[in-house]
Chains A and B, each alone.
Chain A
Amino acid sequence: MTDPSTGEWPGDNEPDGGSLSGQEAGGSAGNGPTERRRVIGTPPPAEARSMLGTPEPGTPGGPPLPRRRELPADPQDMPGARRAERVVVACFVIATLAGLGFIAAYLIFPVHSVLLVQHSNLALGLTMALTFLALAAGVVIWVRRLMPVVDLTEARKPLRSSDEDRAAFVETFEEGAEASQFVKRPMLRRTLIAATVPVAIAPIILLRDLGPLPRTLLDHTVWRKGVRLLNYGANTQIRPGDFSSPGGMITVVPDGYQDDFNALAKATCIIIKFGPGELQFTTADHPVPGKVVENWTVDNIVAYSKICTHVGCPAALYEETTHHILCPCHQSTFDAVRGAEVIFGPATRALPQLPMTVDAQGYLVARHDFTEPVGPSFWERGPST
């Protein structure tokens, strides 16, 4: 009956085991695949009902083998089967219509404006979701209402191989090892291992050119002596007299770099104008904790790096009444009158102060670069000055 070249089948003596068997369907009488394939909703021949068949006999030390389970009786007899079938059919029809609706929506609704996109999104999304929902609902109702309820038990064999299998494996493994002479010839072994080392390292070496070495790149910004401060956005140079009164915060960038994000990611500053006597000055010419370097300010205008010393977000919020600069990312808070010292949050260092003066034309310019690296901490940074 079965092709001898597919020798597994005869050994597999399940009555329903050959549903894919390869003999000519027309030639086989009675037991042919034609009669074995059961269409859902038709009564199956008794011998085809088994889902598990005869359990594998003699599982060593195993539990009581599960008994042969049979599918429940004719599903047609299930109450409400006909109604359920109609519901499923309705679901599938809805899915078909919704799927067609999706195609129609794609063709009907144009895009290219916010409002049109909204309509298109709604139409496409609704039809798509409805397609999937109706299909899913149909299938679930089909399974639950039309397919017979089953609760089958399958034996679980221990994962551990039998002792004989293990012994056989060990034997095979040792035979192979013996044949390869891997153990017997140490030089062979060692040189092979040695050869794999560079092979493993080489790809990592290849990654070297992913970027330049840091060197001292993080220590400097593009600010140099005489570079004018530019009001960012308006792109205008700034005179101290432009500030009519103390107040808000202005974002400034070095003139000539206003479009260079790589420069601005470090060089961006904020300037704030204070009333007389508000700033707590030091006369030293280097940063002092809790103080503003007086010599670096112009007319009570002070410039700080805008790049938060925590992880580099722009410290963009300024509260005029308290003179607090707040970084919105992690709420590090800096006191603007006291050298942008940290008063709350995870930042450990004050925002560096940009040394400022005015040039011959009366514009605000940098005296020189920051005297310490701006932005987040890094390993090579060293102490804050």
Chain B
Amino acid sequence: MIDRALSGTGNWLDERFHGAKGLRTFFRKIFPDHWTFLLGEIALYSFIILLLTGTFLAFFFKPSMTEVVYHGVYTKLDGVKMSEAYASTLRISFDVRGGLLIRQIHHWAADLFVAAILAHMLRIFFTGAYRKPREVNWLIGLVLFTLALLEGLFGYSLPDDLLSGAGLRITQGVLQSIPIVGTYLSFFLFGGQYPGHSIIPRMYILHVLLIPGLFLALIGAHLFIMFHQKHTQMPGKGRTNTNVVGAPMYPYFMAKTGAFFLFVFAAVTLASTFAQINPIWLYGPYNPLAISSGSQPDFYMGFLEGSLRMMPAWQWVVFGHTFAFNVFIPALLPLGLILTAAAFWPFLEQWITGDKREHHVNDRPRNAPTRTALGMAAVSFYGVLWAEGANDVIAQHLDISLYTVTWIARIAVFVVPALAYIITKRICLGLQRKDLHLLEHGVETGIIRQLPSGEFIEETRPLSEEALAKLAVPERLPLPAGRTDGEEDVPPPTMRRGVGRVKARLNKVLTETVPMNGHGPNGHGPDGHGADGDHARAALGPSADEDHDAEGGSGEHG
């Protein structure tokens, strides 16, 4: 009965859309599994939650700066003048059933959205999933991240409360500080001088139409490209650059990802049930004369806030024009630096390594120590800025002077990333050595055996195939113009001068890794497991060996 209905429907649809073949391929599409692949899904599902809850909120929200006098159920603000935007947000919170819940879900989901994008982006970076052929999707991701920050800023400014108003004032001050065009940008955005009467309705239409439209288009492209190129996979048994191993779309992935959407929704709902967020009625309506201390924005704006707080008071006046370095540098530089570096990185890495191949098996972060170290340097740079964004809270809770906190941050923003780079790289190389030890000697069993000669040895067990496959390091290429002709120490002429020389130096840094082949100075242990090491890292470039020499001290494990 049901079968007949289904086949009837299927027939009807297929005769119109010719879907049987395509849909079958779709059903059979294989999705590799790894817990980090869920991060992007969290971002996607938060976005869907945002669309759903945002639509609900828009039914009741009035994006207007018209002044009204409040006489609603929140009696503490009775008789207070406020904008219609703020009054309607109070109404959503106190007079619409489920309004507060949906408002809080919207806010929590927005925070989760940005957090998930950040985490997803880091996953992509640290596993090298941005490599060819996925560079374009990496760039789209960077645009999505930037848009998410903007969308969030506009969104939490809409209720026109005192806290977000301070954020908006800062935004305006930053805009105004931009050389040459800043004053005009500010006047055009605000429809005149700050605060004007236009900013809320303008931010509203950007927040609910323009930016979500861009999101839909870009997320669509992002997913389509991912789908078309097929997902990357983590290294493992049977997983190669020319296959995809995992569960099919139908029914496995569909069911699991559907359930995951519900988990995300449930988590956000639980947060919104028990953890109050953005209680705008406590902040009061916006008033340009008032402010409260401890004004922290949503977490994703924290690094910009910290950057502003940290900057020394530098300003030039040249030919009657003001360069407000104290404002526009901290506001634009950190994000600009991180995003520009991130955008160029895949291409830079390709150029340095000469690796133009497709990569579908992800790196384990330890196997690309320099990349991982650079990533951690960026993360710690962001982290210092972020912490400085709460310098007043830190000063208060740790009972140290506010100025001391700021000075620590001013120094830390340079020192901590450098330290993070060095430490991360050491950790990665150390982990590689641990892997090498496992590959060469196998797993220690804890069984001690005495040989007839009287010598004691510990028994080891070779790794399982599965474990071996996980430890395997993907083949790295030597420099394209490689050190050939048997003269390993003499770089080719193109690598001795100018750009080539820079490239060779960078290559040396970037490919620094623990040698895993049998030709290095370490050789192998006599236990015969060396073959595994050969198998795993046989194709390491010669440069890696030299790096190892330069690094020194890593030969103990041989």
Contact = CB atoms under 8 A, between A and B. Distances in A.
Interface of A: 3, 5-6, 8-9, 12, 14, 17-23, 25-26, 33-34, 37, 40, 51-52, 62-63, 66, 106, 109-114, 117, 120-122, 124-126, 128-130, 132-133, 135-140, 142-143, 147, 150-156, 158-159, 207, 210-214, 217-218, 232, 251, 253, 259, 261-262, 264-266, 268, 306, 310-314, 316-317, 328-332, 342, 344-349, 375-384
A251 B289 contact: yes
Interface string B15-30: 1001111011000111
Given A125-B270, A125-B272, A156 B247 contact: no
19 contacts: A6-B20, A17-B20, A20-B24, A52-B28, A62-B242, A114-B94, A117-B94, A120-B100, A154-B244, A156-B242, A211-B191, A268-B288, A310-B326, A328-B294, A328-B295, A345-B313, A375-B173, A377-B177, A377-B326
B376 to A, nearest CB: 28
Given A6-B20, A128-B101, A330-B308, A133 B263 contact: yes
Contacts of B330: 346
A315 B270 CA distance: 38
A26 B238 CA distance: 43
Most buried by B among A20, A126, A158, A316: A20
Interface of B: 3-4, 6-8, 10-11, 13-15, 18-21, 23-24, 28-30, 73-74, 81, 93-101, 104, 133, 166, 169-170, 172-174, 176-184, 186-196, 198, 229-230, 238, 240-248, 251-252, 255-256, 258-263, 265-266, 269-270, 272-274, 287-295, 305, 308-315, 317, 320-322, 324, 326-327, 330, 358, 360, 391-392, 402-403, 406
A232 B289 contact: yes
A124 B103 CA distance: 13
B117 to A, nearest CB: 22
Contacts of A330: 305, 308-309
Contacts of A379: 178-183, 321-322
B81 A259 contact: yes
B135 to A, nearest CB: 12
Contact of B255 (A21, A139, A153): A139
B127 to A, nearest CB: 17
Given A126-B273, A132-B263, A212 B256 contact: no
A143 B247 CA distance: 11
Contact of B290 (A214, A311, A314): A314
Nearest to A125: B273
A135 B263 CA distance: 9
Contacts, number: 339
A346 B311 contact: yes
Most buried by B among A19, A265, A330: A330
Main secondary structure of the interface of B (DSSP, over half): helix
A346 B322 contact: no
Contacts of B104: 121
Contact of B183 (A14, A143, A218, A264): A218
A3 B6 CA distance: 18
A20 B11 contact: yes
A106 to B, nearest CB: 6
Contacts of A266: 193
B308 A346 contact: yes
Contacts of A121: 100-101, 104, 272-273
A346 B104 CA distance: 34
A151 B33 CA distance: 10
A381 B191 CA distance: 20
Contact of B266 (A19, A23, A133, A384): A133
Main secondary structure of the interface of A (DSSP, over half): loop
A311 B308 contact: yes
Given A218-B193, A313-B170, A143 B256 contact: yes
Most buried by A among B15, B190, B255: B255
A20 B3 contact: no
A109 B99 CA distance: 13
Contact of A331 (B20, B179, B238, B392): B392
B313 A348 contact: yes
A382 B289 contact: no
Nearest to B245: A153
B169 A155 contact: no
Given A143-B259, A152-B247, A218-B193, 13 more contacts: A20-B7, A22-B7, A120-B97, A124-B101, A129-B273, A153-B238, A154-B245, A158-B358, A210-B188, A211-B189, A312-B169, A346-B326, A375-B173
A151 B289 contact: no
B147 to A, nearest CB: 20
Contact of B262 (A139, A210, A259): A139
Given A129-B270, A140-B259, A261 B96 contact: no
